[in-house]
Structure 1
Amino acid sequence: MSRPAPSPIYTLRGAGGPLNTLHFSCHGRDTPLLFSGSGKGAIHMWNLNTRRAQKIVEGHSGSSVIWVSTLQGTDTLISQGRDMQVCLWDLSEGRSALMDSVWTGSVGFCQPSMLETSPGTRLLAFAGQQTEEIKIVELPSKSPVCTLVPDAKLGMVMCIKLWQPDSGPGPLLLAGYEDGSLLLWDVTQRSKLSQAKAHPEPVMCLTFDTNCLRGISGSSEKKLSPWMLDRQNNLQLQECVTLVNPGVSQLCIRGDGKLLASAGWDHRVRVFGWKKMRPLAVLQYHTDMVLSVAFSDHQDPRQRLLAAGSKDQRVSLWSIYNEGADTS
């Protein structure tokens, strides 16, 4: 007999808007935190011990917040809103002071991607003012690194992922476009390395496992499209995974590379074994589209959580497959 579907261990309410983005900061902290960005422009900093909002940052003039993250090893929060700004916030000693901002010129929903290149120095990639362009700047100097624009008309940039390969000179960037294409860019050479048509519809989301050079993307259709990079950095499409209902907002791989979670337009979170894409669980709690999913970065695997944010203005937290479970 199959086990009954789990319930959330608890929920967070009071965000006041759809939950577009989630980010955990638990590793090496006394107080585990979850950051959320809402469609009403608020960033909530949830204390996971008290299960309440410890701080609320109103930072994007009421515009929808589409991305939040933290700079590792610092008390700096970074966020992007649909006010065309990426903002950096100083959270040290109880503050929430705006330190700096980067103007993107983009009114789309593409979340930026950040990569630490050396201690204290990071690259930030984001969708630019022109429909198809991706801009990369260095932080904290904000000096431009490059602009990536495809030769062919692929439509709007929908999602990006920046990473540093183990071998090779410089960073690479994966981008999903409105026409369903995936492109792999060499940032140093400002050149396209490979391209694949992963979906007939716009690529709504992608995630990439840098350890095994495998990724997966989702769109408005009833399929997930897995793919991998070969040794020549060619994108190789793999067999699609069919879903029960169409539409995926976000995909997230757990830090240990064992689980994949998808945020569904059908109000559900689906959990797969990442290695073989075996369906493991369907999490049902929300009453509207699930917009975001995130796995926690707890040092102790037994404490790991999965969070889901929904258009219903609630965050659900789940404890699943944490110790010794077969997730292959």
Structure 2
Amino acid sequence: QVAAAPPSMAAPPDPQFVLRGTQSAVHALHFWGGAQEQGHQLLLSGSLSGLVHIWSLQTRRAIATLDGHGGQCVIWLQTLPQGQQLLSQGRDLLCLWDLAEGRNAVVDSVGLESVGFCRGSILARGQQRWMLAVPGGGSDEIQILEMPSKTSVCTLKPEADAKPGMPMCLELWQTDSSPRPCLLAGYEDGSVALWDVSERKVCSRIACHTEPVMGLDFDSQKARGVSGSAEKALAVWSLDEQQALQVRGKHELTNPGISDVKIRPDRKILATAGWDHRVRVFHWRTLKPLAVLAFHSAVVHCVAFAADGLLAAGSRDHRISIWSLYPRS
């Protein structure tokens, strides 16, 4: 029984195509822009069974399977700025893969002391170096590493009187005007905090949700972010020039539970992965609902946008749906 779409919304489209073959729930997706297979980009998926699949969007088949997580769920995938390397995060291990010329080999790894589901984040620091944020050893800690040397930069631990619980999602970024890295972290108590990594201090913390923050994304050009949680609302917040976060508004959802939220690279639209099996698409500036993508038959765990605007969604139903919506103008 699917409720009729409101009059303002056209009937939802069908996926452009569907990728099958993970044989396991899909928990992570990432478009690999640097790798062109006959001019077509590739899609990476991470599954509950611990495998990473590399998909050709041309043949719609997996062209390689990476097995480095010993059966532990893969929750985050990120290709590195220099192109031919991949980070994959399992429950207790982060693997660095060399994907050049089909080598597909683990060349390094970082043991994780956390057993949560908090995805890592990276920030390029020049051609060959990058900064990595991952959940830390203490349940409320975040560890910052310099990569690929794996040198510990610092551990970010909340102030003594703050009890935010575990970090649930992380986003490293820096402004064009300042070399100082910042970190946005969503926490178990529903708060979002902005850390100054160099100073190891929280610049600002806001209560966004009454439930753990499951996903967040940040538009550094508009200094505006969005987060989703187990509750029935998206929170939109902004960052002023004094590094203070402010809640801008809540957008009520039809059903509770957001696993992931992503802003498209052109900052026009936003997609959410829902516990209600739906992918919802919103206009980013106004948060007007644009589409409800009802294809999956179980929780949608992750969404990802390609540079050209293609949208992928991964679900507990073992399928990955690929959508072409609102073409980039």
Q: TM-score, normalised by structure 2?
A: 0.94
Which of 207, 216, 221 is the equivalent residue of 1:197? Answer: 207
Tell me what 2:164 maps to: 154
What is the CA distance between 1:28 and its match in structure 2? Answer: 6.7
Tell me what 2:63 maps to: 54
Which of 61, 74, 81 is the equivalent residue of 1:72? Answer: 81
| Contact 1:111-1:159 at 8 Å conserved across structures | yes
Q: Tell me the distance in 1 between the aligned counterparts of 2:323 and 2:254.
A: 22
Query: Structure 1 residue 87 and structure 2 residue 95: aligned?
Result: yes
The equivalences for 1:170-185 within 5 A come to 170-185=180-195
The DSSP-based 3-state class of the residue aligned with 1:182 is strand
The DSSP-based 3-state class of the residue aligned with 2:234 is strand
What is the CA distance between 1:47 and its match in structure 2? Answer: 0.6
Which of 310, 313, 316 is the equivalent residue of 1:311? Answer: 316
Tell me what 2:246 maps to: 236
Tell me what 1:35 maps to: 44
After superposition, the C-alpha distances for 1:5-31 in whole angstroms (9 at most, x for unaligned) are 100010000111111110001357233
Query: Mean alpha-carbon deviation: is it higher for 28-37 or for 251-260?
Result: 28-37
The DSSP-based 3-state class of the residue aligned with 2:12 is coil
Which of 6, 12, 16 is the equivalent residue of 1:5? Answer: 12
The DSSP-based 3-state class of the residue aligned with 1:32 is strand
The DSSP-based 3-state class of the residue aligned with 2:125 is strand
The equivalences for 1:257-268 within 5 A come to 257-268=267-278
Q: Tell me the distance in 2 between the aligned counterparts of 1:14 and 1:169.
A: 43
Query: What letter corresponds to residue 290 of structure 2 in structure 1?
Result: L
The DSSP-based 3-state class of the residue aligned with 2:95 is strand
Query: What letter corresponds to residue 243 of structure 2 in structure 1?
Result: N
| Contact 2:35-2:42 at 8 Å conserved across structures | no
The DSSP-based 3-state class of the residue aligned with 1:68 is strand
Tell me what 2:112 maps to: 104
Q: Tell me the distance in 2 between the aligned counterparts of 1:145 and 1:228.
A: 27
What is the CA distance between 1:95 and its match in structure 2? Answer: 1.1
**Count of residues in correspondence between the two structures:** 318
The equivalences for 1:15-34 within 5 A come to 15-26=22-33, 29=36, 30-34=39-43
Q: Tell me the distance in 1 between the aligned counterparts of 2:59 and 2:33.
A: 14
Q: TM-score, normalised by structure 1?
A: 0.95
Query: What letter corresponds to residue 60 of structure 2 in structure 1?
Result: R
Unmatched tracts of structure 1, length 5 or more: 299-303
Which of 139, 145, 148 is the equivalent residue of 1:140? Answer: 148
The DSSP-based 3-state class of the residue aligned with 1:26 is strand
After superposition, the C-alpha distances for 1:30-83 in whole angstroms (9 at most, x for unaligned) are 33100000011000000111100000001100000001111123211110001x
Query: What letter corresponds to residue 7 of structure 1 in structure 2?
Result: D
What is the CA distance between 1:136 and its match in structure 2? Answer: 0.5
Q: Tell me the distance in 1 between the aligned counterparts of 2:73 and 2:124.
A: 26
| Contact 1:25-1:297 at 8 Å conserved across structures | no
The DSSP-based 3-state class of the residue aligned with 1:118 is coil
Cα distance change on mapping 1:199 and 1:47 into 2, 3 Å: same
After superposition, the C-alpha distances for 1:72-127 in whole angstroms (9 at most, x for unaligned) are 23211110001x11110111111111100111211100000000011111000000
The DSSP-based 3-state class of the residue aligned with 1:240 is strand
Which of 200, 211, 230 is the equivalent residue of 2:221? Answer: 211
Q: Tell me the distance in 2 between the aligned counterparts of 1:280 and 1:72.
A: 32
Query: Mean alpha-carbon deviation: is it higher for 164-173 or for 263-272?
Result: 164-173
Q: Tell me the distance in 1 between the aligned counterparts of 2:229 and 2:111.
A: 28
Query: What letter corresponds to residue 295 of structure 1 in structure 2?
Result: F
Tell me what 2:298 maps to: 288
Moved over 3 A (4+): none
| Contact 2:85-2:97 at 8 Å conserved across structures | yes
Query: Mean alpha-carbon deviation: is it higher for 312-321 or for 21-30?
Result: 21-30
Tell me what 1:301 maps to: none
The DSSP-based 3-state class of the residue aligned with 2:70 is coil
